[in-house]
Amino acid sequence: GLGQLLKTIYMVRDSLNPRLVIAGVVLTMYDARTNLSKQVVEEIRRYFPAYVFKTVIPRTVRLSEAPSYGETILRYAPASVGALAYQALAGELVQRNQTESAGG
What is the pLDDT, as a whole number, of residue 82? 98
Number of domains the chain contains: 1
CB 28 within 8 A of CB 57: yes
Return the higher-pLDDT residue of 1 and 76. Answer: 76
pLDDT at 7 over 80: yes
Domain range for 48: 2-101
Span 23-39, average pLDDT = 94
Per-residue pLDDT tens for 36-91?
999 999 999 998 899 999 999 999 999 999 999 999 999 999 999 999 999 999 99
Please report the pLDDT score of residue 104 as a whole number. Answer: 61
28 phi and psi angles, rounded to 5 deg = -125, 170
Contact status, residue 76 vs residue 46, Cβ threshold 8 Å: no
Q: Which of 52, 2, 54, 60 is nearest to 31 (CA)?
A: 60
Quote the pLDDT of residue 79: 98
